[in-house]
Each structure stands twice: as structure tokens, then as C-alpha cells.
Structure 1
Amino acid sequence: MKDFKRTLITAALPYANGPIHIGHLAGCYIPADIYARYLRAQKKDVKFVGGSDEHGVPITIRAMKEGVTPQDIVDKYHAQIKESMAQMGISFDIYARTSDKIHHETAAAFFKELYDKGLFEERETEQFYDEKTNTFLADRYITGTCPVCGNPNAYGDQCEKCGSSLSPEQLINPRSTLSDAVPIKKTTKHWYFPLQNYEPWLKQWILEDHKEWKANVYGQCKSWLDNGLQPRAMTRDSNWGIKVPLPDAEGKVLYVWFDAPIGYISATKELTENWADYWCKEDTRLIHFIGKDNIVFHCIIFPSMLKAHGNFVLPDNVPANEFLNIEGQKVSTSRNWAVWVHEYVKDFPGCEDALRYVLCSNAPETKDNDFTWKDFQDRNNNELVSIFGNFVNRTFVLMHKLCGGKVPPLHAATLDDTDKAIISDIQQSVARVQTALDNFRFRDALFEVIDLARKGNKYMQEKEPWIVAKHLTADNPERERNQQKIDNCLHLCLQLTANLAILINPFLPTAAGKMLYMMKVVERMLDWENAGKINLLSVGYTLRAPELLFRKIEDAEIAAQLEKLKAGSEQQPEPVASIKPEATDGKRQTAVPIATGIKPEIVFDDFSKIDLRTGTILSAEKVAKADKLLKLEIDLGFEKRVIVSGIAQHFSPEALPGKKVVVVANLAPRKMRGIESNGMILMAEDAAGKLVFVAAGDEAPDGAAIS
């Protein structure tokens, strides 16, 4: 890898139109914070910038709903989001705002630079317009009846009842949300960025030069490039946003996805007068942490803008995460199906590290994952409390009880194989954690830290210093040797504890701080160069009494959260009859129930959300006490998956290894008979009703995307 002098880390700018939820944290903010803390521990030159995205349609819609101004909305939610980030330990060097003057000036200057170079295409198009309010309408300002499910309040871009992606032209009886008037089409002028001109460069830069990017990022970029890029409008008709800096652009603002990523630049400008070092020098490493819905903007559109401008560095990596579902359902802010961060910190005071731990250990790094309150409780109680916290607490309790509260000496001559093994475990764990962090595998890194604590518990259990202490009687000829055994055990456990503090600090900073306090050492001990050393705590040094690092989460607390989630969300939509799609002559038809046959029509965006991959069955076995289920191990090329499939009555397990299959790879995990199933295999029925595999053919390699 290229030797970079400095690193600039960005995390996606959340819309300041509402509070943040745990999906935001899992998607980019916790991973970005872990990486920033890790680089700081290595004494690297690093800046971590973020901020609120305060322009765009969601802001104005929220203002309209609440009967206030857009500025009122962004002032309210920027403050709330910033506080939530701080409460969760997200250690931004700056958390800025795109409504600030410095950002307006930076974004406008960026646009003007591209305009002066003659890079924009001016186009006139017809858009929906509200004659009563004299306003061009964004898709979200138009509502009507959904052509798929009949919902009378569908938006012009999506029906939030059935989830269908829509366009205003598809709505039945469309109307303006501003005045309830029927919108008309009116000509308007906008400036388009010719994205297609950068396609050859993007193919080389991404597909050839950045093959190390995560498979989900690389694959989505390849799909966009394979389908061909089109010009994209970089302006909008609105009075809220950054005014287009041209004399003939009255009522025009910059497209929010043009101005938002420039917010990273303006935030860095606000942070330091040396901002150009982080944006304009080739020895800077730029890393964007985002969710998968922002991949196209950060990997294709923004880099093309930077390339067109010509004076900025390009992102070296974009480690995007997938989505986090909640209790088996997609997060829905409109239905209040979410776990809000500001509510969590009130309901679980002092448990911020617990949430950070669970969201990292269950992070959707390669596929959508599911957050459940039961899993939250289990991981906290069985891993944080019973493994990590238990080891640290036992070490301090025994040190005070058997060693007078001081770090005992290490007797090198009497170290046995078990002692030497735990020293090796410490050093090997550090190497594995560092490799995982360097490659953005935060889940794997955290597992290694917890596993080291697990090994510490095992080591202590094997040594049993509390039993050895019973043989320290004055008349025992082995008294001195037994004391050395106790000293060696607790000395190494304390050094392991110090190493755990270093390793856990990027993940759980509050716990690391408590451990520093108990060990009476300064923050400098957390420097990464100290990881792996076994002389971090000086012999004879007095340590403080133990404090519990984590607390157990009780059943009643989990029950309350489940009830809160259920009560706060809207009732699930009642099943509705399917309706026929549009008539072939283009005229809309009245909704007519269909008893059987093809499901309701979908649009391409619905289908494009499904990630179909080829795979090979490696093994198959019956699931105990389940006549219909088989547990399959599938090779997807880039990883192996366990999938539980209800095909046991159609196939014998021994006949399946080697079979080519097609897998829905981004289906949310689901537990079946205690086994987590990570995907679904496509099957079809033959004329006799027997299931047969849908396969892509032997020539398709495992993991190949099907489109």
C-alpha cells in the first residue's frame, strides 16, 4: 500500500430532518470512529470530519409538516444529532453544518469552477409545477394513489405502505402537498453534469486500480458502470439550499448531492487552516465511511466532480456497510420502527459501550444484518459481562486479595508452558487485531479482543491461584514456589488486562477509560506501540480497587423495549387485494382484485434491490426435529454461508454436495430451529410438483452476480 503521510476520514452527513437511529451508527459512524481512534493510537496524522446535511427536500417536507421554517428544523435536529453522536463517543474532530456560511461559499465556488471550465450542459425539461404556490415540485411534494397497492397517500418517489418505488407520472390522481392542487408540467432549465464523460476514467480507477475495495462496493460500482452513466442534474428549483452562483439562476439551488459531499471540504476548512494538506496533497489518504445507499454518490459522482475540478485528492477507500434491520423488519422512520439513539441513552444510562459493542459485533459489513433486543441482551450479558468484564474483575479482586493490591513480580525462571502460552496469545492477538483493523474488518478485530479475554479466563482457571494460596502455610516446603506461581499468574493477568485496555479502546472508549483509572496509568499507555508488551504495569505499583465495567441487562428492560417498539410503530398494513397493472394502451384502469396469477407489477428499482449470486453446495444435513429442513453450507466464492432450506422432502442430503444453485444473498438473516440462515435458494416446481434447482450453469463461477 502507498505510504501516506496523513489520513482524512469522513462519515456520511445525516439529514437534519429528524433524530438518528442505530442503523446510522452501525452503517458508518461507529466503524469510522473505531478507525479514527485506531489511527490516533498509532500517532498518525488523522482528521475525522462530519456534519449535518441541512439542505434538500426532506428538510422542507419536515418543516411543512411541523408548520415551521426549514431553518427551525435544521437548528433543532443538528443540535440533537450532534449531542447523540457525542453521547455515543463518536469522536469527530469537527461536526459541522452545511447551512454555515463557509460551506455555502465553498460549494458555490466549486460549482462556479466547473461552470467556468464549460463542463455543465444546460437543459430545459418539463417538471411538475404547482400553479397555486408558483413552485416546481420535487417528487416528494407530490402525492396520489399508489398504482400497486391503492394507498391514497403515496409519494411521488415511493409508496411507504407497500414499499414500491414510483415516479410522479405513475401516481393516480396526483396532487401537490403544498396546496392540494393538481400539478401541471412546466418547462424549467437546469445544469447537468456529463457523468458519461468520466465513465472510461472511472472504469480504470475503480475496476482496475481499486480491486481491493469491499465486494459490495466494487460490485455496485461495476453494475452502474456496466449499465452506462447518464448526465445528472446538479441544480434544483427551490428556495432552500445553496443558490446557484449564476446571474440567470433565480429560484435555483445546488442539488443536495452536489453540495453535501463538498461539506467534507468545508468542514475541514473550518477545522484547520491547513485544510489543503488534507484535500490537495497526494500523500493524503481519503477514506469515506458510508452506508450502501450512498455508494454511487461517493464512488462515482463525487470522485468525478473532484476529478473535473482537478485540485483535490480522490478517495482511497470507501468501506460501505449494508443495512441493519430491527427485529426482522427494515427500519422505517415513517412507522417509527427504529431504535432512536437519543432515547437509548436515556433508557440505558451508562451503557453506551454496550450498544457500540453489539452494533460492531453484529455489523452489516458484507450483508444486511438484524438487530434484536434479545441478541443485544445476550451479547452484553454473555460476552461483555461474563467474558471481558469478568476477567478484568477477577484479576483485580485476586490481586488485592493475594498480592496486597500491588503488581506482583514476574519470576522468569519459574514460568511454565501455560504461562508462556498466554504471553504468546497476547502478542498473536495484537497482530490479528491490527491486520483486521487495517483491512476494515472491525467485526473480526473485536472478536479477537474478546477471544483474548476468553483465553485470559481460561488461563486463570487453569492456574487457580486461589487454590494455590491455600498452600502458603509456613511449614510447607513449597511455599516460596507456590507464591511464585501466584505472582506469575496475576502478573500476567494484569499485563493482559493492560493490553486489553489498548485493544478495546477503539471500540469501547468508556471501558478503556475505566480500566486506565483502575490501573492508575495515564492515557499515553493506550498508544498502539504498547500493544503486545508484558511490562506495561510496574512491579510493586499499587492499583485501585476493581469497578464493574459493564452491567447486566435485565429481562424487564428488554420486554419494555419490545413493547415500546411495538407501541410506537404504526399497525402493519392490512392485506389488500392485488390490482391489475396499467392497460396496454396507456390508460389507467380502476383497481380490480385479482384472485390468482401474477403478483402486482414492480418497477426495475424493486428488482435491483435483490442480490442474486451463484454458489455451490458444499455439504448438506438434516435439521433435527424438522422433517422439511436441510442445513446447507454454500460456497459463494467470496465467503461460505449456512442456509436452512425447506427441501428435505425433495432431496436426500448426500445427493446435494456439488450442486450449483442461485442464492438471494442479501436476505436478512433468520433463525430456524436455532440455526441462523443467511440467504435463500431459488427453487421452482416441475409439472409433478417436485422442487428443482434454479441454476445459472456450471460455467458461472461461485459468487457471480446475476442480473
Structure 2
Amino acid sequence: MSTRRVIISPAPTANGDLHLGHIAGPFLAADVHARYERAQGREVLLGTGSQGTSTFVVTAAHRRGVRPADLAADSAAQIESTLRAVGIAVDGYTGDDDRFTKWVVDFIRRLHAAGRLERQSMTFPYSERTGQFLVDGFARGNCPECLAESRAGLCESCGHLVAAGELIDVKSALDPSDPVVLRDADVLVLPVERYRDRLRAHFEAHADGMRPHMAHAVARMLSRPLPDFPVTYPISWGIQVPFAEVAGQVVNPNAEPMAWSMHCSTLAAQGRGQNPAAEDALWLAGSGSQIVYFLGFDNIYPFAIAGPAMLLAFDGRYELPTHYLTNEFYELDHEKFSTSGGHAVWARDLAAQVPRDLIRFYLATTSPEHQRTSFSRDALARLAESRLVGPWNRIADRANRWAGRGPLPVSQRSRHAAARMSEQFAASYELTGFSLTRAAESITDQLARLDRWPAADADAGDFCFQVGWLLREAAPILIDLAAEALGENAGVAIDPAGVTSIVPLPLPHLAAVGAGR
């Protein structure tokens, strides 16, 4: 029986700040779910961080004419600050410090010592001009699985592993004019095929822990032999490995996720005043942890195939993640966010211009849970005003007529309505069936209902009670409004059945789009 829920959103690459596509995907969903769980009195740890070991840090630094290490450090600080700006309450935030680096090496070393890694020759694109192997972000072409434009390593479109040497029409991402040849290099690999049957059994046992797109992709991946997964790369950027047979190589950044997740979990526990005995303590079998990921669909291979295979290679030492809440791409005006192309809305900038409750509500309403959705500043203004700001402010004006008066009676009918509201929101906030979109729709529907409430002083207690109850249920999304109105009680669950009267509290107004925090 799990005693704690460990929630993780995979670290974004430290090659720039966060745009709205990042927030609308895994981060807002993870934050809302964690806030709801804590309101139910459950133990929750929420962690994320940044990844500076990715080759995409090098390619971004190359475009900008800066040192990769400087870009990674600056981006890590920006990402952490931006998460706070939009109200993502992270318990633990990782970076690429010495403690993390040592733990990754220890994790890989134990796999190596147990004989789970094998030396194997693999084919990579190679630049003879620079003498550099082109892996992951260094190589671009078309995915051999789905044929979409892709980089080496992982395909954003289909989620499959993309062997760098199998990219179609491969080119150097650093210099497309640089001729590319194919060259073999010895690397350490994990023979993932050994664990395919156990992976398939695990996902069949936890079929309710995936959304349909991921479930289909994972089933397809596991329906045929799995390729060997490179754990080391013959490049210099990344975490150096101490193995003589691949001297000078680094850990494949896509082989870091399980070690990173364990480290992230420990930092989250420490952030909440706990002191795990080791970096992997919360992941040990029988430790009472349920591991849950909120992540983009394009991250499923390292976190759901290669990563869990690494855990299985430790022969029962670790728990495996049971839930993966994926999201699709969030676009800007129906085109993919592009940092390099300047096609982006930076989350920090928007939070300085628009109250963050309105941002969170709009992103929840347009959440890319099952298909691509799109951000529009005009749509944000229209939707926030019509569905949230206008109805709420009219409701607050009416409720404030009775602020401080009472106690006012609350009827059984109204207590029943509150219980139904709780059931409705719980269906959207709980892991099984989690949906930001449905939670936002519930806020919209309940505000519209209360905005139409017949004017009658006789049922003022019922009206004010239900308004306050809605605010409690909406608190994981409307964090500032709930905190201002309810104070410390905003995140505390209570039973409506015991409420027979209330003294209404004064309710704040919501500012419109264009009014910053």
C-alpha cells in the first residue's frame, strides 16, 4: 500500500527559459494534481529541475555565440524562477551539480558492475571536418519509423528511439553544409530486449495509468524486439563515465532519467523537511512510494521503456512508475513553439502582464491532453473575461452584500450540492481520469450556475456557502483567488455534511487580462 505519491515532471533542457508550451503541458497538470492531493491530506512530493547535459544545450549555445556551460547555468535559474512566477509549487528542483553528477555515475557504475551493460559497436553520423560524432541534437534528418522530421535519439512525433545512424538524409545540426559520413564506435548499451516481456506485463497491469496515445505507442514498441539502448556516447559534452573500455565517453542524456528522477525525489523530500537515507531510498521496493510522471508524449521512450528497463536490471530492487500522464504539443497560433525561431510566448513575460490565475485557467481550458491545442492572446482575453472574470466578479459583488453577517443557515439541499461539486472535481483531479480541461469546464459551469442564482435574501446562506465551496474546489487552479479569499483554509478539505451555518467572508475581485499581479 503506497503511503506517498512521488510526482515528477521531466526536466526541460537548460537551453533557454520556459515558454507557455512547457507550462501548459506537464508542469501545470503536475502542480494541480499535487495541490489537490495535499488538500485531501495525502503525502505528496513534487519534483522537477533542468537538464544541462543535453546536446541541445550545445546547439543552442552555438546559435547564440555563448559558452554552453554559461547557457545551462543561466537557463536553470530562469526555469526555476519562471515556475514560481506561474505558481508551480515545486518541492525539489534539480540541476547538474556535483551531487547529481556523482549519483548518475554511481547508478551507471552499479549497472556496469552487475554485468548489465555490454560493449557494442554502433554506427553514428560523423563530421570529418570537426572530428565529432553527431548524436542526439547534433544530427537531424527524418525518423526511420514515422518519416517525420526528427533529431537523433528520440522522435518528437512518434516517440520512438531513433538510432543516430539510421536517420534518413542525416545532416549536421551545427552546420548543415558540413559533409556527414557514417562511422562505427564502441559504446556501452543496455540490451533492453531482455526486459521486454516484463515491461509488457507491467504496463498491462497498469493499463489505466496511461492515456490512449501513449498506450498505443508503448504497445507498438513492445510488440517487436527492442533495440539495444546506448548508455554512453563518444562525445565530450555530458557526464564523464569511469569505464576503461569506453574511455573519454559520457552518459547518454537519455540514459539519465531514472537516476535523475531518484535524485529529484530525494530533493523534493528534503524540501518538505524529510531526510531520505540515500538518493534512491524513495524508489526502493517496499518503500511505500507510488511513482507518477506528468510528461510530454515525446519523452515516453526514456522514461517508460529504457528507464524502467534499467530499474528491472537491478533485479527487484526498485519500484517501477505506475502512471504516465502525457500531453501533446501546445502551439502558438496553430504553429509549434520555436525558441530558435522566436515563435514563442515566454511564461515569465505573460505572468508579468496577466494575473496568473487567468493564465492557469486558460491553459487548463486549452490543455493539450489528447491532441494539439493552441494559445492565442486574444482568445485568452475573451475566454477569461466571459467564463471567469465577469461571472466571478458579479458573484462576488452579490455575496459581499452579506459579508460578515450571520450566521446564515445552510440547507441540506445546499450541502448536497456541495458534495456533488466535490465529486465532480475529484473525477478530474484524481489520477484515473485526470483532466485539466474537465476541471476548468467544471469551474465554468458552476460559475454560470451561481451567476444565474435567483435573487432572494432567504437563501443567502446557501448562495454564499456554495460560492465558497466552489472556490475550495477550484483552488488547485485558481491559487491566488483561493488564497486571498480563504487564507490558510484554501488547501484544507472539509466535509460539507457538517456545515449548518456560515458567516460569509468578503470575496476579492479578479482583475482582467492586462492587469499584472
Normalised to the residue count of structure 1, the TM-score between the two structures is 0.65
Q: Quick check: 1:527 aligned with 2:497?
A: no
Query: For the structure 1 residues 144 and 196, does the alpha-carbon distance in structure 2 shift closer, same or farther, using more than 3 Å as the test?
Result: closer
Preserved contact between residue 229 and residue 306 of structure 2 (Cα < 8 Å): no
Q: Which of residues 381, 387, 401 is equivalent to 1:383?
A: 387
Query: For the structure 1 residues 280 and 143, does the alpha-carbon distance in structure 2 shift closer, same or farther, using more than 3 Å as the test?
Result: closer
Aligned to 1:372: 376
Identity %: 22
Aligned to 2:201: 204
Please show how residues 660-699 of structure 1 align to structure 2 within 5 Å.
none
Paired AA for residue 232 in structure 2: T
CA distance in 2: counterparts of 1:86 and 1:202, whole angstroms: 36
Query: For the structure 1 residues 530 and 336, does the alpha-carbon distance in structure 2 shift closer, same or farther, using more than 3 Å as the test?
Result: farther
Q: Which of residues 422, 426, 439 is equivalent to 1:445?
A: 439
Quote how far apart the aligned CAs of 1:311 are. 2.0
Quote how far apart the aligned CAs of 1:356 are. 0.6
Which deviations, in whole Å up to 9, do the C-alpha atoms of 1:483-530 show, x marking residues without a partner? Answer: xx2xxx2222222232123111111111111212xxxxx413531235
CA distance in 2: counterparts of 1:302 and 1:118, whole angstroms: 17
Please show how residues 222-301 of structure 1 align to structure 2 within 5 Å.
222-271=219-268, 272=270, 273-274=275-276, 276-282=280-286, 283-301=288-306
SS at match of 1:528: coil
Query: For the structure 1 residues 143 and 504, does the alpha-carbon distance in structure 2 shift closer, same or farther, using more than 3 Å as the test?
Result: closer
Where in structure 1 are there 5+ consecutive unaligned residues? 146-153, 400-404, 413-418, 466-484, 517-521, 558-707
Quote how far apart the aligned CAs of 1:286 are. 0.8
Paired AA for residue 418 in structure 2: I
Q: Quick check: 1:24 aligned with 2:28?
A: no
SS at match of 1:48: strand
Give the structure with the larger helix fraction: 2
Paired AA for residue 524 in structure 1: N
CA distance in 2: counterparts of 1:143 and 1:447, whole angstroms: 40
SS at match of 1:239: coil
Which deviations, in whole Å up to 9, do the C-alpha atoms of 1:107-157 show, x marking residues without a partner? Answer: 111111111111112112343333444322326435799xxxxxxxx9889
Quote how far apart the aligned CAs of 1:58 are. 0.2
Preserved contact between residue 126 and residue 186 of structure 1 (Cα < 8 Å): yes
Q: Quick check: 1:49 aligned with 2:47?
A: yes
Preserved contact between residue 422 and residue 456 of structure 1 (Cα < 8 Å): no
Query: For the structure 1 residues 510 and 176, does the alpha-carbon distance in structure 2 shift closer, same or farther, using more than 3 Å as the test?
Result: closer
Preserved contact between residue 49 and residue 92 of structure 2 (Cα < 8 Å): yes
CA distance in 1: counterparts of 2:236 and 2:133, whole angstroms: 10
Which shifted more, 134-143 or 214-223?
134-143
Q: Quick check: 1:124 aligned with 2:121?
A: yes
| Count of aligned positions | 494
Query: For the structure 1 residues 316 and 529, does the alpha-carbon distance in structure 2 shift closer, same or farther, using more than 3 Å as the test?
Result: farther
Q: Which of residues 8, 12, 15 is equivalent to 1:14?
A: 12
Aligned to 2:145: none
Quote how far apart the aligned CAs of 1:176 are. 8.1
Query: For the structure 1 residues 176 and 315, does the alpha-carbon distance in structure 2 shift closer, same or farther, using more than 3 Å as the test?
Result: closer
Paired AA for residue 105 in structure 2: A
SS at match of 1:293: helix
Quote how far apart the aligned CAs of 1:52 are. 0.2
SS at match of 1:4: coil
Quote how far apart the aligned CAs of 1:258 are. 0.7
Quote how far apart the aligned CAs of 1:239 are. 1.6
Q: Which of residues 193, 197, 202 is equivalent to 2:190?
A: 193
The structure with the larger Rg is: 1
Quote how far apart the aligned CAs of 1:73 are. 0.8
Aligned to 2:397: 393
CA distance in 1: counterparts of 2:210 and 2:74, whole angstroms: 37
Query: For the structure 1 residues 374 and 442, does the alpha-carbon distance in structure 2 shift closer, same or farther, using more than 3 Å as the test?
Result: same
Aligned to 1:659: none
Quote how far apart the aligned CAs of 1:407 are. 2.9
Which deviations, in whole Å up to 9, do the C-alpha atoms of 1:287-308 show, x marking residues without a partner? Answer: 0000111122222221111111
Aligned to 1:114: 111
Aligned to 2:146: none
Q: Quick check: 1:509 aligned with 2:474?
A: no
Query: For the structure 1 residues 13 and 533, does the alpha-carbon distance in structure 2 shift closer, same or farther, using more than 3 Å as the test?
Result: farther
Quote how far apart the aligned CAs of 1:67 are. 2.8
Paired AA for residue 428 in structure 1: R
Quote how far apart the aligned CAs of 1:420 are. 5.1
Quote how far apart the aligned CAs of 1:28 are. 0.5
SS at match of 1:501: helix
CA distance in 1: counterparts of 2:49 and 2:173, whole angstroms: 32
Aligned to 1:416: none
Paired AA for residue 40 in structure 2: Q
CA distance in 1: counterparts of 2:345 and 2:176, whole angstroms: 34
Aligned to 1:491: 461
Please show how residues 426-575 of structure 1 align to structure 2 within 5 Å.
426-438=418-430, 439=432, 440-459=434-453, 462-465=454-457, 485=458, 489-516=459-486, 522-524=487-489, 526-530=491-495, 534=499, 537=502, 539=503, 543-544=505-506, 546-552=507-513
Paired AA for residue 296 in structure 1: Y
Please show how residues 581-660 of structure 1 align to structure 2 within 5 Å.
none
Query: For the structure 1 residues 158 and 498, does the alpha-carbon distance in structure 2 shift closer, same or farther, using more than 3 Å as the test?
Result: closer
Paired AA for residue 242 in structure 1: I
Which deviations, in whole Å up to 9, do the C-alpha atoms of 1:49-104 show, x marking residues without a partner? Answer: 1100111210111222233322101111111111110000000001111x111111
Query: For the structure 1 residues 511 and 268, does the alpha-carbon distance in structure 2 shift closer, same or farther, using more than 3 Å as the test?
Result: same
Q: Which of residues 60, 65, 68 is equivalent to 2:66?
A: 68
SS at match of 1:529: coil
Query: For the structure 1 residues 131 and 179, does the alpha-carbon distance in structure 2 shift closer, same or farther, using more than 3 Å as the test?
Result: farther
CA distance in 2: counterparts of 1:159 and 1:261, whole angstroms: 20
Quote how far apart the aligned CAs of 1:447 are. 2.3
Q: Which of residues 48, 53, 59 is equivalent to 2:57?
A: 59
Which deviations, in whole Å up to 9, do the C-alpha atoms of 1:683-705 show, x marking residues without a partner? Answer: xxxxxxxxxxxxxxxxxxxxxxx
Q: Which of residues 328, 342, 351 is equivalent to 2:348?
A: 342
Which deviations, in whole Å up to 9, do the C-alpha atoms of 1:10-46 show, x marking residues without a partner? Answer: 0121001012111111210001000111111112111
Quote how far apart the aligned CAs of 1:280 are. 1.4
CA distance in 1: counterparts of 2:119 and 2:392, whole angstroms: 61
SS at match of 1:189: strand
Preserved contact between residue 207 and residue 218 of structure 1 (Cα < 8 Å): no
Preserved contact between residue 384 and residue 550 of structure 1 (Cα < 8 Å): no
SS at match of 1:290: strand
Preserved contact between residue 28 and residue 289 of structure 1 (Cα < 8 Å): yes
Query: For the structure 1 residues 198 and 550, does the alpha-carbon distance in structure 2 shift closer, same or farther, using more than 3 Å as the test?
Result: same
Query: For the structure 1 residues 76 and 214, does the alpha-carbon distance in structure 2 shift closer, same or farther, using more than 3 Å as the test?
Result: same
Query: For the structure 1 residues 302 and 423, does the alpha-carbon distance in structure 2 shift closer, same or farther, using more than 3 Å as the test?
Result: same
Alignment root-mean-square deviation, CA? 3.1
CA distance in 2: counterparts of 1:158 and 1:247, whole angstroms: 28
Select the structure with the greater relative contact order (CA < 8 A; seq sep ≥ 6): 2
Normalised to the residue count of structure 2, the TM-score between the two structures is 0.87
CA distance in 2: counterparts of 1:353 and 1:247, whole angstroms: 54
Query: For the structure 1 residues 287 and 43, does the alpha-carbon distance in structure 2 shift closer, same or farther, using more than 3 Å as the test?
Result: same
Preserved contact between residue 211 and residue 218 of structure 1 (Cα < 8 Å): no
CA distance in 1: counterparts of 2:327 and 2:409, whole angstroms: 48
CA distance in 2: counterparts of 1:501 and 1:536, whole angstroms: 17
Preserved contact between residue 141 and residue 168 of structure 2 (Cα < 8 Å): no
Preserved contact between residue 53 and residue 260 of structure 1 (Cα < 8 Å): no
CA distance in 2: counterparts of 1:454 and 1:532, whole angstroms: 24
Q: Quick check: 1:303 aligned with 2:264?
A: no
Aligned to 1:331: 337
Query: For the structure 1 residues 205 and 102, does the alpha-carbon distance in structure 2 shift closer, same or farther, using more than 3 Å as the test?
Result: same
Quote how far apart the aligned CAs of 1:194 are. 0.7
